[in-house]
Amino acid sequence: MKKLLYILLLILPAFVYASGGSEGAESTDIIPRTVNFLIFAAILYYFVANPVKDFFNGRKNSIADRLNSIQEKLKESSNQKNRAKELIEKAKIEAISIMEVSKNETEILKAKILENHKMDIENLEKSFDDQISIERRKMTRAVISEVLDDVFAKDSSLLKKDELLDIVMKKVA
């Protein structure tokens, strides 16, 4: 502001002396109009300069604040994206380990089931063999009992031990 005033004060005398005085028709009112314009410009600058500067500084600051908030949101979303990627990687690793554990458990259960079935089959075979031997004994007893009943029904003195043994052997076989 002060610079402008000094420049006006330096230029003003040059315009005043250059006019050459007022000589009738040749004189113009350019100097007073110029001086009036410069005074008007100075007053306008004095009253309008600070509000315009404040307006543009405020606008600049609001734009900078919005830009900073957008950059913060961008950084935050980038961090969340990175966290999500890390969680996805952890989930993939955990899924692979769960798959491996389930495969191992499946093999273990399969082996246990096969072992249990083998034991059940062996137990069934043993019980079948035992049942067969019990039935054979029952049949042997029944045959012996039948033979003895036949022998005792007949005259027992007629048979000798060898004959009795042959009869029993024939019935058993």
Specify the number of domains making up the chain. 1
pLDDT, residue 21, reads 55
- Give the span between the Cα atoms of 42 and 34, in whole angstroms: 12
Give the type of residue at 103. K
pLDDT tens digits, residue range 143-173? 877 777 776 666 555 556 677 677 777 776 6
Whole-number pLDDT of residue 98: 95
Considering the domain boundaries, does residue 162 fall inside one? yes
Work out the number of other CB atoms within 10 angstroms of the CB of residue 31.
14
Q: What is the reported pLDDT for 118?
A: 94
| DSSP structural state of residue 154 | S
Compute the distance between CA of residue 106 and CA of residue 93 in angstroms, rounded to an integer.
20
Tell me: the pLDDT tens digits for 20-54? 555 544 557 898 899 999 999 999 999 999 999 99
In a domain, residue 7? The reply is no
Nearest of 151, 149, 145 to residue 164 by alpha carbon: 151
Domain coverage including residue 162: 32-172
Residue 125 lies in a domain: yes
Give every CB contact of residue 171 below 8 A, 6+ residues apart in sequence: 143, 144, 146, 147
| Residue percentage of the chain with pLDDT more than 70 | 83
Please indicate, yes or no, if residue 18 is contained in any of the structural domains: no
Task: End-to-end CA distance of the chain: give it in Å, rounded.
Answer: 142
In a domain, 4, yes or no: no
Q: What is the pLDDT of residues 96-127, one digit of tens each?
A: 999 999 999 999 999 999 999 999 999 999 99
Supply the pLDDT for residue 25. 46
Distance CA 147, CA 165 (A): 10
Q: Is residue 166 part of a domain?
A: yes
Could you tell me if residue 155 is inside a domain?
yes
In a domain, 64, yes or no: yes
Its pTM surpasses 0.75: no
Q: How high is the pLDDT of residue 112?
A: 95
